[in-house]
Amino acid sequence: MSMMKKNRIALTVTLAASMLFTMPVSSVFAAKLPSASYDTMQLHAVPTKQVTYYKAGVASLPQIQWIESVQDLAFLPVQTIGDVTASLRDSSGVYWIGTENGLQRVNFAEQDARDIVQYFAGPRYLYGGDDHVTGIASDGADGIWVRTASGVTHIAMPKQTMQQKTETYERIVRDVHDRRGMVSSSSFSFADPTAEAGVVNYNSPKGIFSSVPATSDNDGLWTAMYAMGEIFRYKSLQEQYGPNPDEAQTAEIQKAKNAAVRATKAVLVLSYVSGRGNGFPSRSYMLTSEYGAQTKDETIYSFQNQSGFWFQNIVGEDAVNPNGIIPSLKKEGVEPIGYSIARVTKDAQNKKGSRLFPSGGTDVMNYNGLGLSQEAIDALNESRPDGQKLGIDIKTIVEVVDGQPVYQVLPVITAATNNANAAEDKTTGINNKPLFQLTAPVYEQIPTFFNELFPESVIKNGKIDMNQIVYKADTSSDEVDGHYALFFTAYKYLVGDSQDQDMLEMKGYIEEVTHRMTELIMKDNHYYIEDATGKSTQWSRWSAKYFNDSLQVMEQQLEWAHKVGVDANGDDALSYGYEDGPLKALEIMAILKAALYITAGSHPETQQKYQEAYDLAFASSYSKEEPFINGKGYINMALEYIDRRLVRQATNAYNDNDNTVVTRDSLKEPSTNANATIHNDWTQYINYSDEELAWFPTYILILLEQDPVRHQQIVNVFDQWYTNEVRENNPFYTFLYQLAHPNKKDIDIASAVRYLYRSYEYMIEFNVQWNRQDVLYIEPGDRDESNKIPNKQTNYALTPDERRTIKHNSNPFESRSQTTGANPGYNYNTGSMEAGTVFTLPYWLGRYFEIIKE
């Protein structure tokens, strides 16, 4: 039973009172940070590109007087307009120039010089991606009609406020992205009963977006971001409409609160769907009725459509676990109410992972895959008969080292993979059951607090039917990042000092989940999230050895002076997690700081432990050799963000250069890593996903750390990350940077606002025309080579409405998703779409902290 359930009565009586002494009271309305002196930027309504698509030959296309010649371009040299096919100057003095390679808008009256020339190409703006313009015509309202051989587009340019733009994002979230409160990218369908076939206008008042949203890789992370934006939306609207809002304003505030509560619940429930009762945060979950959860013969023994490491719950009086329980999942004095069984998937059958430490050999604990620990194997073998012992009779080969097979026990082993190479086996079923399927105990029912997230078909006798739940394990630290940032945000800004019963109940669940998850991470001081394998999940690990194994040895080698990490034999000795150290250091510090804040009143017994662990992170140095001390000196590791990128990059270049330090003279063959190493350019080795992930712990620490010395150290860490982020002009980073430097008045807020102004209204994933003359293309970054096909990078970040639709975790300079040419049959009624979270979170955060205002 949930701890929350046991203590619910006590919560309503004593918790609120106790929290008055332990939790700072949150301000009701938007406010700058204390002592902040930055200026608030006023936003304005700006032209927003709204496109209607007309397939060639449709009858409903209006009669248009097409311009099919070059005119009004006397200001341009003749030599530069050879590919111009049509041009005009509209009544507002704006030049529209159609070419053989797209459309340009030139407005010398733009306030920002960077917006004078704007580009329109690819299927988002020109029908079917046919970029050869054959005619243009002004619409008389600052927009343009554009004709190609494939069809016609009408690009309207109505002015919108940024708050109006968020209203579109909210509608699309509701119609397309929402999956029981979870919000992530999704496929979509669009229909307009009033439109002729071949005509698509996403802004039509009768148009309907719909979808069947499916699980995404990190549902909790994306939903946490959405929820945080909605929380700041709720608080900002309270400020905007004042103490006496009218009926419509009250309804808008309530909608924002409802959205924030729903999304927060959707993240919280991820810590309950497994029923493990130990704080394990599932990466995602599905209902058995969803397509991704379907198996080939509709049994738990056959192959599942959705990849990943998934478990199905089996709960009830007849639920008899076919396996034992591994030690780390046992709960003393508590009997399971059922079990969950690993689904047959590719990952469950062959995800061995990578070796973590060059010196670690082939022991299963040196792999970050799904192989079971020996302790788990031994426990499970206690109840298995002779001839069916794991690791003896049932095992699979994950690789061959020095001519010898390396065996592991993976979560699913079949007759085809037993004592053979680990592989994807789709032949299992009711008549060909796997020889082994890992199970985990289910100890508790999902609390009824979350019932409203589920359809009626899932509610049985007033409770959520756990037998309809299939959850994803192997949870990434990406998820953990997002969860803690949301829990802090919801606790401080959504719940705050509210005495509302529903808010108090939510407060209790936030406290319980935060405490449980933190205890899971800190258990035995191991600094990782343990899964049903008896090991850490692949990425949720924060141990010192993971980051710094053999570092003491490497620092003694001559190559270290060249930022190359090798052992005494000259071989690469960097641990698998070396470059992750700075990010992970921030993460564990934020985990502890958030837990101290959230659980102060509900779990005073763990405050000292968390405080001592947090204080340890500010020790003078971190561990570089055995015995490693987890958490010690992690702030110093966090301060090595740039340096560790340079070391990993130079070591990769060394490996590619026949184990020779790369210099101009020693380079044997040019490469991205080698060139960047020679120029000491660490920006070529950036993991843009890490940039996004570092935002969350930085946000927590900047807002919670009150000690001026420690706060400055954290700011110094963020300054390193922002060295590259400033190039992206992304308000997600810029607004947080302003919070980190509340007295700086020279931060480029204008470019961040321009990012908002130039963001798509509909974040549909269209391919992009990258054949442009106004940018320089530089070599791809280390992570930008896909299947050996390099993706060049632009030398500056294009505005969002001129590049592919991306989240914050992608390289904004990368010229990926190149359009493949004209497609007269392009289907604008279906596609894929990102949620507007990339806009709404920074926008509403900026509004709340008065960095921007409408």
CA–CA separation, 719 vs 714, rounded Å? 9
Residue 207 belongs to a domain: no
Of 436, 458, 473, the domain-final residue: 473
Do 849 and 793 fall within a single domain?
Answer: no
Do 311 and 411 fall within a single domain?
Answer: yes
Please report the pLDDT score of residue 725 as a whole number.
98
Residue 237 belongs to a domain: yes
Torsion sign (Cα): 284, 288, 292, 294: positive
Residue 20 belongs to a domain: yes
Do 577 and 665 fall within a single domain?
Answer: yes
For 19, phi then psi, to 5°, come to -70, -20
Do 392 and 415 fall within a single domain?
Answer: yes
Residue 701 belongs to a domain: no
Please report the pLDDT score of residue 5 as a whole number.
39
Please report the pLDDT score of residue 19 as a whole number.
32
Please report the pLDDT score of residue 791 as a whole number.
72
Do 82 and 14 fall within a single domain?
Answer: no
CA–CA separation, 358 vs 366, rounded Å? 9
CA–CA separation, 275 vs 351, rounded Å? 24
Do 27 and 172 fall within a single domain?
Answer: yes
- Can you read off the two tokens belonging to residue 431? 């008549």
Tell me the sheet residues that pair with 340: 313, 440
Please report the pLDDT score of residue 15 as a whole number.
30
What is the chain's alpha carbon radius of gyration, rounded to the nearest angstrom? 28
- Can you read off the two tokens belonging to residue 787? 């299947």
Of 637, 655, 683, the domain-final residue: 683
Residue 703 belongs to a domain: no
Residue 814 belongs to a domain: yes
Range of the domain at 830: 753-837
Residue 358 near residue 331, CB atoms below 8 Å: no
Work out how many domains the chain is built from and give that number: 5
For 682, phi then psi, to 5°, come to -75, -15
Task: Give the Å distances, CA to CA, from 307 to 295, 529, 794.
Answer: 11, 21, 34
Do 321 and 393 fall within a single domain?
Answer: yes
Tell me the sheet residues that pair with 188: 831
pLDDT per 10-residue tile (average), the chain, 854 residues: 39 32 42 89 98 97 96 90 96 97 97 96 98 98 98 98 98 97 97 97 97 93 98 96 96 98 98 98 97 96 96 95 96 96 98 90 96 98 97 98 97 98 97 98 98 98 98 97 98 95 97 98 97 97 96 96 97 94 98 98 98 97 95 98 97 96 94 91 94 98 98 98 98 98 97 98 95 86 64 91 96 91 96 97 98 97
Half-sphere exposure of 349 (CA within 13 A, CB side): 27
Do 383 and 407 fall within a single domain?
Answer: yes
Residue 575 belongs to a domain: yes
CA–CA separation, 470 vs 345, rounded Å? 13
Task: Give the Å distances, CA to CA, from 200 to 67, 123, 380.
Answer: 24, 13, 58
Amino acid letter for position 645: R
Residue 766 belongs to a domain: yes
Please report the pLDDT score of residue 787 as a whole number.
41
Please report the pLDDT score of residue 18 as a whole number.
33
Do 66 and 101 fall within a single domain?
Answer: yes
Please report the pLDDT score of residue 772 as a whole number.
84
CA–CA separation, 668 vs 661, rounded Å? 11
Q: Tokens 């032209």: give the residue.
A: 47
Do 27 and 133 fall within a single domain?
Answer: no
Residue 843 near residue 731, CB atoms below 8 Å: yes
Do 757 and 807 fall within a single domain?
Answer: yes
Of 652, 683, 714, the domain-final residue: 683
| HEC readout, 729-786 | CCHHHHHHHHHHCCCCCCCCHHHHHHHHHCCCCCCECCCECCCCCCCCEECCCHHHEE
Taking alpha carbons only, the member of 756, 760, 751 closest to residue 805 is: 760
Residue 48 near residue 159, CB atoms below 8 Å: yes
What 3-state class would DSSP assign to 14?
helix
Longest CA–CA span in the chain (Å) reads: 90
Do 292 and 384 fall within a single domain?
Answer: yes
What 3-state class would DSSP assign to 415?
coil
Taking alpha carbons only, the member of 117, 115, 93 closest to residue 105 is: 117
Q: If phi over 0 gives left and psi between -120 and 50 gives alpha, with beta otherwise, what is residue 34?
A: beta
